[in-house]
Each structure stands twice: as C-alpha cells, then as structure tokens.
Chains A and B, each alone.
Chain A
Amino acid sequence: EDQVTQSPEALRLQEGESSSLNCSYTVSGLRGLFWYRQDPGKGPEFLFTLYSAGEEKEKERLKATLTKKESFLHITAPKPEDSATYLCAVQAVGSGYSTLTFGKGTMLLVSP
C-alpha cells in the first residue's frame, strides 16, 4: 500500500527564518511526487512535480528536492503570505491513471 508521511505536522517561523518540510514516501513504483499549497477553505494549488531522485525545482522562495525515499520542500526567507498548509502526494505506477496518495500536510505559519 502506498504511504506518504509528512513532518512536522505544524511549523511556526519568523519572517526570514528559513526551514524545510519533509515528505517520506513508500510506493511500489514512483510515477511522480507532487507538492501543493492549500489555503483555508480552498482547493490545493499545484506547486511542483518531481519524477526522479536527484531532481530539484524552484519557484520564488520554494525549492523542492527528491530522493528515493523522501522529498524536501525548502523555504528560504519566508514571508507571512507563505503561511498555508503544504501537501505532498505521490502517484504510483499501476495506481489507476492519475490517482494521488496524499500526506496529511504541514501547516506553516510565518509571523511578521
């Protein structure tokens, strides 16, 4: 069974204080690993897709990396507007056409 575990569950940072979120996964075969951001009461917003170990992607203050067992979302010099829940999901080979298995997310709060 595919499993995704995210840590920490919640993280409080001061504005400008860099940190990393972790996503550990267990799948029979990885088709892709996805990061989403979700604001309260809204649907998840796509951030990144990573397909193979060693791959990295960046967008503004966010950088996602992937190994064979986990992914990290690095947040550099965060701002209050980065406050949200960050979700990690995997798409496994053989799990339907585009089914995603999600972790429970990391709730990030950035204080000014």
Chain B
Amino acid sequence: KAGVTQTPRYLIKTRGQQVTLSCSPISGHRSVSWYQQTPGQGLQFLFEYFSETQRNKGNFPGRFSGRQFSNSRSEMNVSTLELGDSALYLCASSLAQGAEAFFGQGTRLTVV
C-alpha cells in the first residue's frame, strides 16, 4: 500500500518568488492536512481539506494557500516568499475523523 507522496523533496527559491508543493494521499483517504516544521516552532498546522473543502485553517498569513482536487490530491502555494518560510512542509492524510494521520516525507524548502 503506497504511503503519502510529496513532491518535490527539495526546493531552493529566491525571496519574492512563489512555490507550489504537491501531496498525494494514501488511496481512499479524503482528508489532507498541511504542516510547517521549523526548529524553533516545531510542527504548526497550516490548513486541512476534506472532499475539496477547506475545513480548518491555521494562523498563517494569506500568502499561504491550498486546494484539494476531486481525486483528493492537494497542493499548497506560498507567494512572495520570505526567508522565514524556509522549513520542512509536511502533508498528512487521514481515513476518518479521529483516525491516525499518516505523513509524507516532506518537502524541504529553502528560501535564499
């Protein structure tokens, strides 16, 4: 059974650029969540989608956005990149409410 797949694994971008990250959940999982992980702040919730609808949003600026497609695949976009956006971005998928979330390997974004 394939796990959560995130692409690309690594990205280097310049300040001011924008970036799109992709996540393919485990087959059958309709819930996808995104998290940002940094050494200082740990794992922080970005947003969550279920059946193409955003169900919850974390405390991040509007430069961070996401969407989910009908096949449950999800993308997140960060516009006007800042140095502080450098982080490991993790995607997780769940089968049901209250069920465990399975994480992908993450996308390591470096903003220079």
Q: Is A112 at the interface (CB under 8 A from chain B)?
A: no
Please pick, from B4, B48, B105, the residue contacting A97 in the complex, using a CB distance under 8 A: B48
The stretch of B11-19, B69-77, B78-86, B92-100 in contact with A is B92-100
- Cβ-defined contact, B101 with A34, below 8 A: yes
- Cβ-defined contact, A43 with B56, below 8 A: no
- Cβ-defined contact, A46 with B101, below 8 A: yes
Chain A residues with Cβ below 8 Å from B35 are: 100, 102
By size class, the interface of chain A is: 20 to 34
- Cβ-defined contact, B42 with A98, below 8 A: no
Chain A residues with Cβ below 8 Å from B98 are: 31-32, 51, 91, 98
Q: Is A19 at the interface (CB under 8 A from chain B)?
A: no
Q: Do A87 and B43 contact each other (CB < 8 Å), given the known contacts A32-B98, A49-B100?
A: yes
Chain B residues with Cβ below 8 Å from A42 are: 105-106
A102 to B94, CA, bound (A): 16
- Cβ-defined contact, A104 with B42, below 8 A: yes
Q: Among residues 12 to 47 in chain A, which have CB atoms less than 8 Å away from a CB atom of chain B?
A: 31-32, 34, 36, 41-46
Residue of A nearest to B57 (CB): A96
Residue of A nearest to B94 (CB): A98
Chain B residues with Cβ below 8 Å from A41 are: 108
Query: What 6 new A-B contacts, CB under 8 Å, besides A95-B56, A96-B48?
Result: A42-B106, A43-B105, A46-B100, A49-B100, A97-B31, A100-B43
